[in-house]
Structure 1
């Protein structure tokens, strides 16, 4: 198995994507009347009319049935909810005259895929057939390509053409018994807007094709994403406190901080995650997974990442200088006009652009709307910390976010509607007459509204004020540098303190050891003194005896016989007597002298040992004094952090760190204080000022490039890859963040430019199929993947039996299947910093774990924590008693009978209505979410509550990323269909998501006896009344 095999497998899966047909907004093409484009219809001068034909209205359930007949799955549960909705076989876009062009036809790839399967041909042939579709279409519709026109048009479509297309589709979809009817839509779009061609096929198919074709050009990030073996070098942040301690080292503390209320800082794991992101990715490329359970502050974390990227670019601006931002301009001819584009300095390209993407549209909207909103920063109020915060706020219009904004920080550009909206509100507008038609000049060109409040006019007015803005830039630069220096002084102090921790810990143990050693040596010294005293006494005694013997010898010598020589010669009696006497004394003298020598030697030995001990004690004392000095310095640094920077001692990670419970550690905000938070937020805001005055000092270049940028993304101009990068990074320079859904990314960034995007932040990645992000990852230098594999899993519409067949065909391992993995899990497996989740039988390595939960009251928190997170999460909020509900969270036991195969229990639905009415009668006026594991149950809830305000019903997929004070969980499930309950309880994900949508109350409606027999639900029953 190779990485290319994985890409092939994913492409094969995407071939069978079933596009949605919006049956509510299509009309049947009547066979008797004129074709819509054959009638005279007027359009506004600045508009054009387009028609989209959809061939066939095919039940998705029927397509799935065809696949399942080919690849039956014996394990497939018969109760599994059916795929609902319709799809179509092909589509074609026509202009106001009914003419197609070379690009306007799309054949749904699943049609060819199913045809290949039916004919038992190699699945790889689908790709070749898809490549032939365009040429065959051009031939069928008589569209002739020329070198002069890359997108030529054909003749107006007639009924004959339509019948031929139906016959063609019937020939390749013989499995479809239904009549192929034709439907259409019509709409008006801007005259200069490139048509957004119907996207029938997978949003990811083109990207996968290109990655396979250009396999040797895979970026390092994609290669990491597809690495066959997960990282072996792992740092568990839950089991090993030391690993967690290292991640919050101030050495990695970022200068910039989002200007939220300074009172609150990031909690331990959040700060560690931000630090790790910049440590691992800041000066390189790569992927970092962040595991964010519900309510753990994923968005808050991402805001600080965004703030630091902007600070980093501001520092780069200072290094480059505002006069060196752009190179000499280039004239680009396009259609009936030309563009003048100024290439951006290479240092500012492919490094700082930020794209926030998600499979979940609401998650994307949340980020792009929250960034500019004034209420999301500490701007208003009597004690507001940042009342002056403003980044081109006048041009961040309320219509963009639905609220008052403080700056133009983000743009939602994922689809053509959003692009046009942003262009019209932010960039440029034109004069219109009373009927809303554009007013043209003599050349029939629209006239720019020079009085409109937009960024284009603002830049035009500032083109001649370069000197003034250069002066303002110098002031902002000086203030920015000053703030950075102030932060650096603090940071160095904090680093010095934090980095002393290991030495401090060693010193504590060393001091204990030294004190023990000191006592041992002191005791030994006392023993030596005692021994020395004894030896000295003995020495004196022996010396006294020796002196007495010496005196005796002297006395005996005086008694030596006269004529001693003759006495000795003849051995006289006198000599013998004298000699015996002196020999005896002399022997005694020699013996006592030897004893004295031994004593003296022993004394020297003891004195030498004592000297060694004294030196040793001296050295011990010196080392103890050094330890005390180190401790004083350590304590002084701590005092300095507390006094000078107003950091509470509890938030200084000192010698007490390892004695604290891990849950208590997660509630802390390391090295945070209001003073430091304000300083870091000021750095971020001043970085924005640096950007602002840089833009204004280069107003002409930015105006030209942004003009070209909007022409490019709106389809009015095409430029080279090099200039595409320049235009995107010019836009990112002005508006730091762009949001898009993963599905729209390939259209927003149609050029597959490797590492084009500096920073990719993927939110709710646990519910994204693994193949959905690979194209965007190829375009990105650094990827931060945030999500939770224990919440909503990827939705895969094609049968698992087919996916398994494609796995075996491509010879890849099953863990690459969208049924078994997600974007989040692939990112987690290559992230060094994380933790193991699960039990001994099944465990999974997750990325950097966020663990401080600040959303749910109990029992929701306790239940979710136990069933999904091994009780690792920490509750960061206190429950409050409130009386507007219908009691505490509880389980309403309902024993209904059910009917047929439906999962709907009528008694549960009726009780739900009663309880919602009670809730409203008690004065609760807020949002209510009604969640069920089953679509049919959710639909019945919707029917009975559809006229209730602020009540939303659905499955968990409806509510991922959302929250409400009150949630009703309506379980349903036919009493005799245990398989339905086993499915709902096969993993903790469904129950985890449902519970954690509820901030204050969760009311469960269902059969206690039946659900108590299922895993996870038994825990909920035990913890609920």
Structure 2
């Protein structure tokens, strides 16, 4: 075990501990609910399964029966928070604390007869952890270890309390059928279980558990005794999964995506706002995926969207990892995701088209037994896997929006609605409204999964499902596979031909500055060579003169010596002078010989210098001539490039990068490159052909696919034995993803939906609204995925974390996690993903600039002034206005309606409520549809008051700013409120730009703000709101707000 893996595993354990204290709330009491009534059982009252209870008079279908989920020992979660604040200190930053609801000590399944299903119990981790916080206390090293053991012991003691009596024949019958039950329960039994659990957990005093809730659910009789996991919802949905992932991480059994997510060192970063050449390279035609979503060919992705799609597909698709996309409001996150989906569908189709036969798609089979049924799953070739796409989020609405929007008829352009039909009849039945294709399925909670299987696979006698289609196909002759391959191949070749044309232009565009640099360099080198040659000529002339002088000197010296040698003394003279004359002559001769030698050396030196200068001149002349040839070629190449680019610019128009593209940032972001209408049309045609190829494959392999998909339906509904090998379950999922490319689920349901899957079993994970998700929520989903794309915005709403910050810090220290980087109260899935992204930009932060992943920049939702306010307070001008001009609306302009209240009820100011009523009255008179109006506020006190007003205007939605995240409306009314006696509340709302950013950016056409302008405009960010919105004071006598 490495130190790195151990430290990362401790992060998982820390997150798990945080989740122990963060259970979901119990279901709301509602005895009148027709399908799933929830009763609060008072002391001494009848239980719902007992004769005489009102539930027993309700009629249900003959094949159905009641089953009960009993929540025993109900306690208020506020008590857990108060305990933690008492031990660790309060959170000073929370001025609008969410009501935390209630939980219970245990939940148990009870049959129609009132018998508990033994073993189908769940005990509260929050209650146990609260008891451990009291004793032995948080300083004990084993403070939060041992929940499963403790719960097991309480469960065993509880089963003894409610065990069936010795002569209980009904219990014996069920035991023979493999079902273990206790005796029929009375309220005394449940009260005894509540006391037992409270005593064992040590929470009788600190939590004061007392209440008893019973949720009544209709189930089919054949599933009456199944443990469907209903009681799991007592605790955090991800506690067990975090434990599972922690063990895998400690053993090193995790892949690149989770490795990246848990990485602290920053990668080498590229600021896309400062590096347009990098952007140009990443949107090159070679980088654009072959397939495209069927939206209008004249509606290409914005530059930043195309950058994100191309980079994700080029860097993640061939391998594995994590990529972050920053999605400010209205910048087209779903649009980007659609093109990623299309890219994957086309890539899988391309691999299919290259198979020698449809049978070659498989490499064998695996089998398992489910009850009386044998399931057979075909195993896919490795290269046809890895395309499984899952959309997930902490926000149930976000994932539902994506997977209900994608198949909807409006999701594709009318041009392709008939052409692109992909099991559209089944898709429409599943969606409940007109759909174009079965390309996405909403799974997640058990009811969604059952509904999908029922509607898509089984159908009804009048509307048969896909199972019947496959049975028909396997017995009939279908359209030849070869024909579908040929059509797809022709469409692919068309896309590639158009790509090649644009790639040539892009290559030329990249080559142009290269040639310009060559021309500049060669011209400078030629000039330098000419200058050097001029200098060499001067030096050569000097050297030539010196050589001539040296030759003359040699001639003179030799002549002097020759003359001297004519006068050599005779023998007589030498004898007469006793040798003196001879000696003197020889001495002079040697001197003259030396003079000759010196002159010869000087000549050699001069000649050598002359030769060196001659060679240098020849070399420089050669280099000059080479540069001249290079200059000529570069000029010719540049002229050719310019000519070719002029043709391409004429052909591509606004899809070609002009000079302004490099110098004008707003122009650059608004101008999409290369993906003109012709190429987009061909790429969309290819996506349509890819879907047809998938359909042709399903028909050609109907027998294999029917069996595999039947097994997949068992997997989806949870009817798979525990011992089935993961490889078999994975193959079943891969078959479903072949039929339906995208499925969705929340983080809460992820490990239940994909219960049998482990490390990197899924191809793609798209995390939507990642800025709203606490970091621990995504760990299990990322662990199961090879490639992860986190899409969100840390400058919109942040994760809601109910655990006090001081308690988070204590837990962090307890588990030996050194870095505050991992605190749920200080980060999000998006922030962790952004941190690891190589491509992005910096935005202003509270203390230092904040790095965000590849930003989507073109905003197409809001009119001014909403766009400008959002762009100023949150994004430092990052967004570029790109909204298509709409017809003007006959409504008063956006304003700040200044209201100064005389008093307040909490944060609710009655005078603001009166102003709201007048606004809604005017909007109704102006024929604004109620569903086009959002009324929002930062504070829940205000929301309660707004809802009272909104009831008089049916259809108008009123809620907190948090409930508006991910939504938009034609008109938004922001009611600020704010208790004048609690000025810190306004400071809380203005602590960061997130809350106001979300509020403002929900409004497409108009924003009306109601509040005390003087007090709110002193707050950070709200001063920009006041600057950009005109002030309006409603006259007391005026019935409207438009008389200005």
Matches within 5 A, 1:764-803: 764-803=769-808
Q: Shift in Å at residue 927 of structure 1?
A: 0.9
Shift in CA distance, 684/139, structure 1 to aligned 2, threshold 3 Å: farther
Pairing partner for 1:129 from 123, 147, 150: 150
Matches within 5 A, 1:595-634: 615=622, 617-634=624-641
Rounded Cα–Cα distance in structure 2 between residues aligned with 1:11 and 1:664:
48
Pairing partner for 1:36 from 41, 48, 59: 48
Could you say what secondary structure the match of 2:304 adopts?
helix
Matches within 5 A, 1:79-478: 79-81=95-97, 83-121=99-137, 122-126=143-147, 128-130=149-151, 132-142=153-163, 152-171=180-199, 172=201, 173-176=203-206, 178=208, 180-192=210-222, 194=226, 195-198=228-231, 199-214=233-248, 215-216=250-251, 218-221=253-256, 223-320=258-355, 321-326=357-362, 329-335=365-371, 337-347=372-382, 350-378=385-413, 380=414, 384=415, 387-397=418-428, 399-429=429-459, 449=461, 451-465=462-476, 467-469=477-479, 471=480, 473-478=481-486
Pairing partner for 1:69 from 81, 86, 93: 86
Rounded Cα–Cα distance in structure 2 between residues aligned with 1:213 and 1:330:
28
Residue of structure 2 in register with 1:694 after alignment: 697
Pairing partner for 2:932 from 910, 927, 936: 927
Shift in CA distance, 612/904, structure 1 to aligned 2, threshold 3 Å: same
Residue of structure 2 in register with 1:854 after alignment: 860
Q: Which runs of 5+ in 1 are unaligned?
A: 431-448, 547-597
Rounded Cα–Cα distance in structure 2 between residues aligned with 1:149 and 1:239:
70
Contact 2:69 2:108 in 1 (8 A): yes
Rounded Cα–Cα distance in structure 1 between residues aligned with 2:83 and 2:617:
97
Q: Which runs of 5+ in 2 are unaligned?
A: 1-5, 31-37, 138-142, 165-170, 553-604, 1031-1044
Contact 2:362 2:381 in 1 (8 A): no
Contact 1:18 1:110 in 2 (8 A): yes
Q: Shift in Å at residue 898 of structure 1?
A: 2.7
Could you say what secondary structure the match of 1:785 adopts?
strand
Contact 1:225 1:826 in 2 (8 A): no
Q: Shift in Å at residue 237 of structure 1?
A: 1.1
Contact 2:936 2:972 in 1 (8 A): yes
Deviations 1:259-315 (A, max 9, x none): 111101111111111111112211111111111111111111100111111112112
Deviations 1:761-812 (A, max 9, x none): 0100000010111111111111111000110100012222222221221232
Rounded Cα–Cα distance in structure 1 between residues aligned with 2:945 and 2:846:
40
Shift in CA distance, 67/994, structure 1 to aligned 2, threshold 3 Å: same
Rounded Cα–Cα distance in structure 1 between residues aligned with 2:178 and 2:219:
22
Contact 1:105 1:137 in 2 (8 A): no
Rounded Cα–Cα distance in structure 1 between residues aligned with 2:84 and 2:536:
95
Matches within 5 A, 1:515-914: 515-518=523-526, 615=622, 617-635=624-642, 637-638=644-645, 641=648, 646-648=651-653, 650-653=654-657, 656=659, 659-718=662-721, 719-812=724-817, 813-839=819-845, 841-877=847-883, 882-886=888-892, 888-899=893-904, 902-914=906-918
Could you say what secondary structure the match of 1:270 adopts?
helix
Contact 2:297 2:681 in 1 (8 A): yes
Q: Shift in Å at residue 354 of structure 1?
A: 0.6
Rounded Cα–Cα distance in structure 1 between residues aligned with 2:607 and 2:821:
84
Deviations 1:305-361 (A, max 9, x none): 1111111211232344311334555553322x2123132224267511110011112
Rounded Cα–Cα distance in structure 1 between residues aligned with 2:502 and 2:271:
24
Shift in CA distance, 231/257, structure 1 to aligned 2, threshold 3 Å: same
Aligned residues: 936
Rounded Cα–Cα distance in structure 2 between residues aligned with 1:881 and 1:689:
39
Rounded Cα–Cα distance in structure 2 between residues aligned with 1:352 and 1:599:
79
Could you say what secondary structure the match of 2:236 adopts?
coil
> Over aligned residues, Cα RMSD in angstroms?
3.3
Shift in CA distance, 328/150, structure 1 to aligned 2, threshold 3 Å: farther
Contact 1:350 1:781 in 2 (8 A): no
Shift in CA distance, 177/308, structure 1 to aligned 2, threshold 3 Å: closer
Rounded Cα–Cα distance in structure 2 between residues aligned with 1:806 and 1:823:
19
Q: Shift in Å at residue 600 of structure 1?
A: 13
Shift in CA distance, 917/840, structure 1 to aligned 2, threshold 3 Å: closer
Shift in CA distance, 148/212, structure 1 to aligned 2, threshold 3 Å: farther
Deviates further, 406-415 or 162-171: 162-171
Could you say what secondary structure the match of 1:690 adopts?
helix
Residue of structure 1 in register with 2:990 after alignment: 985
Q: Shift in Å at residue 33 of structure 1?
A: 5.8
